[in-house]
Structure formats: C-alpha cells, structure tokens
C-alpha cells in the first residue's frame, strides 16, 4: 500500500523533494516517540542526580566503562527489537553468547587467529545458531518462546562441552580494540559503543525506510493479513532470527574483550533478560508490530546507568535489578496508558 | 486438510460394503494409534516413559551404568520431582488462563519466600505450621502482585513476570545482606525431611516431600481444575476470554486467582527447598537456569497449550516423571560433570521435539489436548 512512498526511500533521504517528505510523514510515525523523549529526560535526570550524589560519576573514568558495558546488551537488544516487532522473542541469546565466546576464545588461544577472523568466526557461528532458531520457529510454526527455551538448553550444552569442565585461560589481547582499555578508544570514545551506534543507525533506517523493514512491522501487526498482502512471512521471520544471531556473535566479541584473560562458563548469563528489559523499556510492544531501535538503545543506556549508579553509590549491586524491574513496569504502564488514550481519542 | 492426513484410507475400496468395512477398520488401527499418540499427550508420555525405563533397566542389567537403575534408585530420584511437579502445576494454572499467560517469576518467588520462611521459622522461632502457612500466604501475595497487574491493569504476562522476577530476586538477596539462614531449627527441619523408608515391599526409600507436598498439591489442583466451577471458568477464559466475558464469567477475577494460586504453590516450594538445602538461601530459585524455565518446559512437555485453555494435571505429572527418570538415568550413564551437561541436552531436545509435535498435531487434527 505504501510502496509508492517507500520506494524513493532507497535513495538518500536528505536530498528529496518536499512532496515525498510530506507523503512519508503521513505514513510513518514521527521519528521520535513520547516514550523515547521521556527516556531521555529520565536518563538526563539520573545522570544529574548521580553527578550530585557522587561527583566522580560524570568523569571519563566512570562514563567510558558504562558505555562499554552497555554496548553488547544494546547490540543484542537491536536484534531482539527486530524479533519482538515480528511478534516473536528469543530467550536463547545468553546461551548463544556463551557458545560464540568460548569457541572464539579457544580459537584465539589455540591457533592465535587474527582480529577479523575472530569477529567473522563469532558472527558466522551466531548466525548459524540464529538460523536454527529461525528455521524451527518460521517453518515449524511453533511459538518462539517455547522453541528458544529449548534451544537455549541445547546451545548451553554445546557451550559447556566446548568449555570441557574448566575455564579458558590466557586469552590473547587480539580483541582489545573493543575493550575498556586505551586500545579500545578513539578520542576517548569506546569503539564498541561507536560500532553499536552505527549498527543501530543502520537498523533504524532498515526498519523505517525499506520495504522489508516495514514488512516486519506488518507481520507483527497481523501475520495472516501480511501474508495475504504478499509478504513472505516465513522468510522475513527467519531473517530476523539470523540477524539477531549475527549481532549476538559480535556482542560475544565485545564480552570477551571486556573480560579478563580468563573466560568462565557463566559468560553471558542473564543477558537475554537484560536485552529484553532494554527493548521493553524502550517502548517496543511485546505483542509485536510496534517499536524502535532508538528506544532500545536508550533502554540499554538506562539499564546500565542504573547498574553502575547503584555500585557508585556504594549500594548492594543486586539492588539494580529491583530498579530495573520497577522501570520495566513503569515503561510498560506508560505504554498501556498511551494506547488507551489513543483508542479513546 | 484431512485429505493429507492418511493416504491409506483413500486407497481402500469404497463401493464394497460388508467386508470392506471390517478391513478398513483394521487398516485404520495404525492410524488410530498414531492419532492417539499424537493427540493424547498422556498416551505419548506413557509410551516415552516406558521406553526410558525399559532402556535404562536393560542398560543397567548389562552393567553399562555406574550404579544399578532399579526401583529404589528411581524412587529416591523422585526428590527432585517435588519442586518440578509443583511449579509445573503453577505454570499449568497461569498458562491455561490464556492471553499469553506465563509466569517467569516463580523462581524469584521461591527465593524470596524461602527467606521469609527462614526468618519466621529459623530466627523468630515460629512453630512449623504457622511458618508454612506464612510461606503460602506470602507466596500468594507475590502472585497477587503479578495477578493484579496482568488481570486488572492489563499488563502483558511475560513482561510483568520478567519485571517481578527482577524485583523479587533482588529483594531476596538484599533482605538478609546476601546471607543464607541456617539456624538450628532449619537444620533439624532438614533431618526430618530426609527420605523415609516406606514399608512397601523391600522398603522403598520414598522421599517424604512427595507425600507431604507433591501428592496433596497435585490432588488439590486436579480437584480445582476438574471438579469446581473455578476450573471450568479457567478453561473458559483460556479458550476464549471474550466469549467467557459474555457468558457472565468474571474474567479478571478468575485470571487473578490463577496467578495467586501459582504464588501459593511457589511459596510451598520454598518450604520444600529450605528443607532440601538445610538452609534458606537467597538465591534458591534463581541459580543457574533458575526454576521458572524447567517448570515451563515441564508444562509444555505435559501438553499445556501455550495459547491457553488446554492442560491437564496428569500430563504435568507424567512429564515430570519422564524428565526426572531420564535425568537420573543420564547421571548413571554419563559419569561426572558431563552428566549434568547431557541433562541440558536431553531437556532441550525433549522440549523442541514436544513443541514441534504440538505444531504438527494442531495442523493435522486441529487444536487438541
């Protein structure tokens, strides 16, 4: 229906005429939603509060680790956003991180592979695991949460077998480009954060301005209607899980780089929940059909701000989960209120 | 759709009447068996259970296992079935209530209630029964938080219980400064809860928890679902909550009750866990993969439809027996650390297999239990 307005989007969006921009404005929602504005306000308020509480907060020594730590969660969150927009979910990403991390770490220790090979290996491996999920969900036509609970166990088994009952020791510094050290920064900004931003921008453009990106929203809104409208539902759903696999593979490299030279079998544990929390706080509807990558990045930033804020204030680190839980409830509650207002308006 | 089911009946000569009928009935026998196997989850589980037990005892008698896989080993393995069955039943209740019902927070409720029970029984010196009652009530309150948000406010269940999972597990850890409670009364509680010899035949060591917690809870849930109006309403709202609303059912209250009941059961599991560990641990329900994921796995394997409205107590119980006895066998077949890893593999394979089978069955025979 909107192909006439969407086709020109393939070109550079900046140099287009008034007419197309107007037409697109009518089809697409405003680039930034109320939830995202609220999130920015909350994050700024938290940063100011933390800066007043602990003056060390707004220094490079505190912000850089925060940005480095949020990068892998945000990266997985981008993939999770795409999946949740189609109405699915993937709870196996933590196990995927573990498999990718251990295989890459072992390869670096045993055969000393170079940086590009390590990243490529991790992403291909993640992509294959995502493909397994995607095929089972799209063609097995089973609810995503059930399948990914199952594959989470399977991947974890694979990862633990590769670990072989011990940790991986003496990991070389091949991946330090993504780390928290001096090698991982340009002009003081961590590379992992920058790379995540670039990928987020690409994903934002893909979801908003390409036909196949819009198809993902259509599938989440009503899969049957999307199929009748000519969307290749199964192929699109499959691609969402493969994309998440690729991004998770890259995130695994970040995780290795951020850790010490030892990799323990609990690597990645709990990341599926943090990623889903970031997506949901960012305003993506768990029912599918609505959501944005920008919100997810902001959500991940909020989650990480809370986590590092709690530690900086000298509180028990587990209190962060309590706040994250409350933030999830507030974010979803605000979304419900807006939906109700939209329906009555 | 049904034409694709079985090409065999189509080949049966239709004009002949008398003999053809009996022949086609004979010809339908395998199809009927297949149908029963695919549509009746209980039948499938029983067959799988039989396969596992026969395989394991055969392996055992040929000395392939590190220890004999016999009745006494199987019955002592039941100790790990107690929390699984109970939480599986909790998931049965909330998933059956429909509209994406699920409870990720059961493990966190177990952790938090463990601490509360530990305080009451271990620190404040409450007698056992009031302490157990407190655990059930407190678990119910946690469930009520979920139920209120989901049924009355309209939050999606997955997100609500994710949030309360975070909140409850965090409070459980902070409440006693990350320290477990293992005072004298709780240590004694452990010794009384150890497996007792039940005089059946040679005196099988039946774990006490199965008799004091598992069986009563299973019976109560079965009665609730099958012999009360609450059960009929629950299946009603799970199948179609709009229709249930028009039929005069208080949909919100029924759904709310399902989450409260799941909380109560989780509270009782907390008591069992404290007895098993001889201490009230702040991370009892959330260590490793936690308790929620295995419970959901058990429920789905037991034939509970994730879309709601379908699910039986017997399915959950049989699915647990299947997983527990399979795991027990794996521990004997694969010694050491690798054993627990192969348990993950088995759980994953069984779950994916069951889910794919559900999908296949739905397409072949329509929606069935």
A interface with B, Cβ–Cβ < 8 A, is 89, 136, 140-143, 145-147, 149-154, 156-157, 160-161, 165, 273, 276-277, 280, 286-287, 316, 318-322, 324-326, 328-329, 332-333, 336
Dump pLDDT digits (tens) for A290-324: 888 999 999 999 998 888 888 888 788 778 888 88
- The secondary element (H helix, E strand) that includes residue B198 is strand B196-198
Closest CA to B271 of B110, B153, B149: B110
Chain B residue numbers touching A318 (CB-CB < 8 A): 169-170, 173-174, 178
Residues of chain A neighbouring B166 (CB-CB closer than 8 A): 273, 277, 321-322, 324-325, 328
Q: CA B337 → CA A158, A163, B63, B74, B368, distances in Å?
A: 14, 12, 21, 21, 40
Closest CA to B317 of B305, B297, B299, B292: B299
Cβ burial of B305 (10 Å; 0-12, 13-18, 19+) is buried
Distance from CA of A237 to the nearest CA of B (A): 17
Asked whether the predicted pLDDT for residue A21 surpasses 70, the reply is no
Candidate from A89, A149, A286 with C-beta closest to B351? A149
Q: How far is CA A317 from CA A178, A307, A320, A323, B149, in A?
A: 25, 7, 6, 11, 27
Q: What is the pLDDT of residue B15?
A: 44
**Phi, psi angle pair for A185, to nearest 5°:** -130, 145
Going by C-beta distance under 8 Å and a sequence separation of 6 or more, which residues neighbour residue B159?
A280, A286, A328, A332
Packing angle, helices A271-281 and A93-111, rounded to 10: 130
Domain boundaries defined on chain B: 81-191+205-315
Given the structure tokens 């966190």, which residue do they identify?
Answer: B108
Residues 19-48 of B with CB under 8 A from A: none
CA torsion sign for A302, A37, A93, B282 is positive
Average pLDDT over residues A13-34: 58
With 90 as the cut, is the pLDDT of residue B80 above it? no
Judged against a pLDDT cut of 70, whether residue A3 lies above it is answered with: no
Query: pLDDT > 70: what percent of chain A?
Result: 91
At A172-220, the pLDDT tens digits run 877 777 877 777 777 778 888 889 999 999 999 999 888 888 989 988 8
Domain A32-344, CATH class in plain words: mainly alpha
Q: pLDDT at position B250, please?
A: 93
Provide mean pLDDT across the span A100-109: 91
| Contact state of A146 with B300 under an 8 Å Cβ cutoff | yes
Helix H segments across B240-312?
241-246, 251-277, 292-301
Contact status, residue A331 vs residue A42, Cβ threshold 8 Å: no
pLDDT tens, B240-289? 989 999 999 999 999 999 999 999 999 999 998 888 888 888 887 776 66
pLDDT over threshold 90, residue A339? no
Look at residue B3 and tell me whether its pLDDT is greater than 70: no
- Kindly tell me if the per-residue pLDDT of B35 is higher than 80: no
Q: Per the CB < 8 Å rule, is B351 touching A325?
A: no
Q: How far apart are CA B281 and CA B111, in angstroms?
A: 7
Please compute the mean of the pLDDT values over residues B54-59 and round it to a whole number.
87
Q: Are B94 and B299 in contact (CB under 8 A)?
A: no
Does the structure show a pLDDT above 60 at B201?
A: no
Q: Do the Cβ atoms of B356 and A318 come within 8 Å?
A: no
The closest of A146, A98, A151, A93 to A265, measured between CA atoms, is: A98
Q: What percent of chain B has pLDDT over 90?
A: 36
The contacts of residue A326 (CB under 8 Å, 6+ apart) are: B163, B167
B155 closest CB neighbour out of A160, A325, A336: A336
DSSP per residue over A10-58, as a string? Answer: GS-STT--HHHHHHHHHHSPPSS-HHHHHHHHHHHHHHHHHHHH-TTTT
Please check the confidence at residue B168 and state whether its pLDDT lies above 50. Answer: yes
pLDDT at A5 exceeding the cut of 50: no
Give the tens place of pLDDT for each residue, B87-135.
999 999 999 998 889 998 999 999 999 999 999 988 888 888 899 999 9
Q: What does the alpha-carbon distance between residue A280 and residue A3 come to, in Å, rounded to a whole number?
A: 29
- Tell me the three state secondary structure of residue A2: coil
Q: CA of A93, closest CA in chain B: separation in Å?
A: 13
Alpha-carbon B72 to chain mean position = 23
Say whether pLDDT at B337 is over 70: yes
If pLDDT is split at 50, 70 and 90, which confidence band does B10 have? very low
Q: Which of A148-152, B59-63, B82-86, B268-272 has the lowest mean pLDDT?
A: B59-63
More confident residue, B139 or A66: B139
B275, B171 in Cβ contact below 8 A?
A: no
Q: How far apart are CA B341 and CA A165, in angstroms?
A: 10
Cβ-proximal residues to A147 (8 Å cutoff; 6+ apart), any chain = A133, A136, A137, A140, B352, B355
Other CB atoms closer than 10 Å to residue A195's CB: what's the count? 17
| Residue A300 · residue A278 · CB < 8 Å | yes
CA distances from B166 to A93, A190, B178, B179 (A): 18, 29, 15, 19
Cβ B321 vs Cβ B49: under 8 Å: yes
| Closest Cβ–Cβ partner in B300, B345, B363 for A157 | B345
Residues A184, A192 contacting (CB under 8 angstroms): yes
Helix (H, G, I), strand (E, B) or coil at B181: strand
Q: Which residues of B67-83 are buried (b: 16+ CB within 10 A; e: fewer)?
A: eebeeebbbebbbbbbb
pLDDT at B146 over 50: yes
Q: What is the spatial distance between Cα B299 and Cα B2, in angstroms, rounded to a whole number?
A: 28
Burial of B310 (0-12, 13-18, 19+ CB in 10 A): buried
CB contact under 8 A, A329 and B160: yes
Convert the pLDDT of each residue in B64-78 to its tens digit: 777 788 887 888 888
Number of Cβ atoms within 10 Å of the Cβ of A270: 12
Q: Please tell me the predicted confidence (pLDDT) of residue B45.
A: 87
Positive or negative torsion for Cα B190, B192, B197, B199? negative
- Burial of A120 by CB count in 10 Å (0-12 exposed, 13-18 middle, 19+ buried)? middle
Enclosing H/E stretch for A185? strand A185-186
Between residues B282 and B201, the one the model is more confident about: B282
User: Per-residue pLDDT averaged across A111-133, rounded?
Assistant: 91
How far is residue A318's CA from residue B366's CA, in Å, rounded to a whole number? 46
The residue count of chain B comes to: 369
pLDDT recorded at residue B152: 93
Mean pLDDT of A254-277: 85
B280, β-bridge pairs: B181
pLDDT per position as a tens digit, A225-244:
888 888 888 899 999 999 99
SS3 A313: coil
Angstrom CA distances, A46 to A63, A312, B127, B259, B336, stand at 13, 13, 46, 34, 48
Q: Is B306 on the interface with A (CB under 8 A)?
A: yes
Task: Say if residue A96's pLDDT is above 60.
Answer: yes
ipTM score for this prediction: 0.80
Between B212 and A17, whose confidence is greater? B212
Q: What is the mean pLDDT of residues A328-338?
A: 84
Please list, residue by residue across B88-124, b when 16 or more beta carbons sit within 10 angstroms of its beta carbon and e when fewer do: bbbbbbbbbbbbbbbbbbbbbbbbbbbbbbbbbbbee
Give the sign of the dihedral formed by CA A279, CA A285, CA A287, CA A288. Answer: negative
pLDDT of residue A250: 94
Please judge whether B356 and A89 are an interchain contact, meaning their C-beta atoms are less than 8 angstroms apart. Answer: no
- Which residues lie below 8 Å from residue A125, measured CB to CB, with a gap of 6+? A99, A100, A103, A104, A249
């Amino acid at each position: 229906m909107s192909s006439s307005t969407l086709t020109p989007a393939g070109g550079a969006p900046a140099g287009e005429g008034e007419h197309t921009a107007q037409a697109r404005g009518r089809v697409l929602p405003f680039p930034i939603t109320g939830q995202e504005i609220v999130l920015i306000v909350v994050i700024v308020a938290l940063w100011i509060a933390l800066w007043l509480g602990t003056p060390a907060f707004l220094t490079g020594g505190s912000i850089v680790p925060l940005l480095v730590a949020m990068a892998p969660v945000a990266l997985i969150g981008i993939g999770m956003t795409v999946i949740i927009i189609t109405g699915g979910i993937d709870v196996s990403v933590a196990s995927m991180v573990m498999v990718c991390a251990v295989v890459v770490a072992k390869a670096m220790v045993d055969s000393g592979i170079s940086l590009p090979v390590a990243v490529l290996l991790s992403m291909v491996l993640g992509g294959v695991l995502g493909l397994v999920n995607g095929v089972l969900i799209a063609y097995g036509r089973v609810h995503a949460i059930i399948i990914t609970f199952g594959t989470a166990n399977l991947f974890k088994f694979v990862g633990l077998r590769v670990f072989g009952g011990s940790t991986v020791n003496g990991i070389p510094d091949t991946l330090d480009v993504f780390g928290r050290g001096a090698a991982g920064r340009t002009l003081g900004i961590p590379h992992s954060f920058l790379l995540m931003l670039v990928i987020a921008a690409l994903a934002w453009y893909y979801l908003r301005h390409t036909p196949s990106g819009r198809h993902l929203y259509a599938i989440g809104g009503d899969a049957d209607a999307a199929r009748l409208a000519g969307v290749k539902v199964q192929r699109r759903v499959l691609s969402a899980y493969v994309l998440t696999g690729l991004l998770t593979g890259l995130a695994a490299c970040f995780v290795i780089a951020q850790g010490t030279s030892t990799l323990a079998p609990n690597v990645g544990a709990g990341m599926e929940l943090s990623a889903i929390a970031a997506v949901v706080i960012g305003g993506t509807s768990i029912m599918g059909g609505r959501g944005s990558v920008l919100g997810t990045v902001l959500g991940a930033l909020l989650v990480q701000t809370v986590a590092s804020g709690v530690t900086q204030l000298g509180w028990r680190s587990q209190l962060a989960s309590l706040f994250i839980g409350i933030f999830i409830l507030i974010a979803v509650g605000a979304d419900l209120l807006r939906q109700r207002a939209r329906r009555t308006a | 759709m049904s034409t694709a089911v079985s090409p065999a009946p189509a080949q049966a000569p239709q004009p002949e009447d008398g003999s053809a009928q009996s022949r086609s009935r004979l010809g339908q026998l395998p199809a009927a068996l297949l149908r029963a196997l695919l549509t009746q989850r209980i039948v499938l589980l029983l067959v799988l259970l039989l396969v596992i037990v026969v395989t394991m005892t055969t392996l055992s008698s040929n000395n392939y296992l590190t220890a004999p896989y016999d009745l006494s080993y199987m019955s002592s393995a039941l100790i790990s079935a107690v929390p699984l069955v109970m939480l599986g039943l909790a998931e049965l209740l909330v998933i059956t209530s429909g509209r994406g019902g699920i409870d990720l927070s059961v493990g966190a409720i177990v952790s938090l209630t463990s601490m509360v029970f530990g305080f009451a029984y271990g620190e404040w010196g409450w007698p056992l029964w009031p302490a157990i009652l407190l655990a059930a009530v407190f678990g119910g309150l946690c469930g009520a938080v979920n139920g209120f948000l989901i049924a009355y406010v309209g939050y999606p269940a997955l997100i609500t219980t994710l949030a309360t999972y975070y909140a409850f597990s965090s409070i459980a850890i902070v409440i006693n400064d990350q320290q477990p409670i293992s005072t004298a009364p709780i240590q004694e509680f452990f010794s009384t809860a150890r497996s007792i010899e039940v005089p059946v035949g040679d005196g099988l060591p039946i774990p006490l928890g199965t008799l004091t917690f598992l069986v009563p809870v299973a019976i109560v849930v079965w009665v609730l679902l099958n012999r009360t109006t609450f059960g009929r309403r629950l299946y009603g709202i799970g199948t179609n909550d709009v229709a249930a609303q028009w039929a005069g059912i208080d949909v919100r209250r029924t759904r709310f009750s399902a989450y409260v009941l799941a909380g109560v059961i989780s509270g009782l599991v907390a008591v069992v866990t404290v007895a098993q560990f001889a201490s009230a641990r702040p991370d009892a329900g959330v260590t490793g993969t936690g308790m929620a994921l295995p419970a959901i796995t058990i429920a789905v394997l037991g034939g509970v439809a994730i879309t709601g409205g379908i699910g039986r107590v017997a399915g959950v119980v049989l699915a647990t027996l299947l997983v527990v006895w399979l795991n027990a066998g794996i521990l004997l077949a694969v010694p050491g650390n690798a054993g627990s890893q192969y348990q993950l593999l088995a759980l994953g394979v069984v779950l994916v297999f069951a889910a794919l089978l559900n999908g296949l069955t739905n397409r072949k025979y329509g929606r069935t239990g």
